[in-house]
Amino acid sequence: MKYLSEFRDPEIVEQYISELHKITTRPWTIMEVCGGQTHSLVKNGILNILPNEINMVHGPGCPVCVTPLNLIDKALYLAEEKGVILCSYGDMIRVPGSKRSLLEAKANGADIRIMYSPLEAVKIAQENPTREVVFFAVGFETTAPANALSVVHAQRLRLKNYSILASHVLVPPAMEAVINDKEAKIEAFLAAGHVCTIMGMSEYEPIVAKYKIPMVVTGFEPVDLLQGILMTVRQLENGEAKLENQYSRVVKYDGNPAAQKVINDVFKTEDREWRGIGTIPMSGWEVRDDLVAFDANKKFDVDIPKVPECADCIAGQVLKGIKKPFECSQFGKACTPLNPLGAPMVSSEGACAAYYHYSEAMEEVTA
């Protein structure tokens, strides 16, 4: 497949691995921010072909994992008590709320539908004028343009029955939170390629400058990841701290201005609670005040009491790269994908699920 098979070429992979072995002189700890990258590292068996000195730790970039418990409870309330048609991305529906997951609510008769695109949800709102349709709009900067566009479309179509339950999170503030965490000892970052496709690279310059930390915007295929890691290790070995772009076939320095515009038209920046991590200042987007009719949070009276997280779950430490999933006492025992205690065990991008599903990688990394 054009632009795909080239980035899975075993010979090129081999070259990068051998180059990494050549230049690596001491241990380095690198965080890949995005859950998609975590998944690709584990799925392709990259963790067990990297030089031992390179310790990849997995970042908070799993949208499902960081969506607050309370918001899932709100979605459940809307679907079960308010009788809305709740539309959601697929991997959100298995995440446990405080009582049950959306999947269980669906089995109990709530009208919950899996979507690939929020525009499908707008279509459903058009087709069901007597029903309220709510799209569960979670995700990083990557999904924000499509979610925002759905509001623009609904407004244009004068729909009164469409709204979004938004909980968007932003990568740069999360990176700073990880850097500032005393327990996390991250020496460099692979920045998330798809987030930068939308937002561009400029917002990372101040972080690189302030913390003197190398950062390489990286893609998701094996060759991308290894090239990104190689560029990062080169900087580390040379004592440099620069912002570089490995994923230049997709990421432009200024990102996608049209997508940024639609985001700014619909969302405003606010403090945001991250599941397992806590509140990070100015780290999320919510619907702007002038579009309140499309904000499910305001449209419906949803005041759901906050419930504490499961005490045994160390998701927060896993999300900040302080602990690896197998360092959790519950991993693979009380906590499995069938009976998850925390969100990282559910989402296909969650580090715990990635380690659980590809358990040989887990054992080799442990050893």
Partner 1 sequence: MNTSILSLSCPMPQLDFEVITMGHGSGGILTNKLLESGVFDLLKNPILDEHHDGAIFELTGKLAFSTDSYVISPVFFPGGNIGELAVNGTVNDIAMCGAIPKYLSLSFILEEGLTMKEFWEILLSIKMAANNAGIHIVTGDTKVVERGKGDKIFINTSGIGQVHPKANISIHNLKIGDKIIVSGNIATHGIAIMSVREGLDFETTIESDTTNLNHTVKALLDEFGNDIHLFRDPTRGGVATVLNEIARDTKLGIDIFQKNIPVVEEVYGACELLGLDPLYVANEGVFMAVVSAEIADDFLKKLQTFDNGQNAAIIGNVVAEHPRQVVLQSRIGGKRVINMLVGEQLPRIC
- Is the separation of the CB atoms in 174 and 276 below 8 Å? no
Q: Which is nearer to partner 1, 327 or 360 (CB)?
A: 360
Binding site for partner 1 (CB under 8 A): 1, 4, 8-10, 13-14, 36, 42-46, 48-49, 63-64, 87, 89-94, 103, 113-116, 120, 138-140, 142-143, 194, 222, 336-338, 347-349, 356-361
Q: From the centroid of its chain, how far is CA 136?
A: 15
Q: Which is nearer to partner 1, 121 or 213 (CB)?
A: 121
CB of 289 to partner 1, least distance (A): 26
Q: Which is nearer to partner 1, 147 or 235 (CB)?
A: 147
Q: Which is nearer to partner 1, 35 or 214 (CB)?
A: 35
CB of 204 to partner 1, least distance (A): 19
CB of 59 to partner 1, least distance (A): 15
Q: What's at 97, amino acid-wise?
A: G
Nearest Cα neighbor of 106 from 128, 125, 124, 88 is: 88
Phi and psi at residue 28, to the nearest 5°: -135, 145
Cα dihedral 44, 49, 50, 56 in deg (nearest 10)? 40
- Is the separation of the CB atoms in 218 and 62 below 8 Å? no
b/e string for 142-155 if b means 16 or more Cβ within 10 A?
A: bbbbbbbbbbebbe
Tokens representing 314 are: 């160390």
Tokens representing 336 are: 């499995």
Measure the CA–CA gap between 104 and 98, rounded to whole angstroms. 12
Measure the CA–CA gap between 283 and 177, rounded to whole angstroms. 10
Q: Which is nearer to partner 1, 231 or 361 (CB)?
A: 361
CB of 241 to partner 1, least distance (A): 28
DSSP annotation of 239: T
CB of 3 to partner 1, least distance (A): 11
CB of 139 to partner 1, least distance (A): 5
CB of 240 to partner 1, least distance (A): 28
Q: Which is nearer to partner 1, 31 or 103 (CB)?
A: 103
CB of 114 to partner 1, least distance (A): 6
Measure the CA–CA gap between 320 and 60, rounded to whole angstroms. 6
Q: Which is nearer to partner 1, 114 or 334 (CB)?
A: 114
In this structure, how many other beta carbons lie within 10 angstroms of the beta carbon of residue 321? Answer: 25
Pairing of strands 278-287, 215-218: unpaired
Hey, which residues does 137 pair with through a beta bridge?
Answer: 166
CB of 260 to partner 1, least distance (A): 17
Q: Which is nearer to partner 1, 15 or 211 (CB)?
A: 15
Q: Which is nearer to partner 1, 214 or 344 (CB)?
A: 344
Measure the CA–CA gap between 333 and 318, rounded to whole angstroms. 17
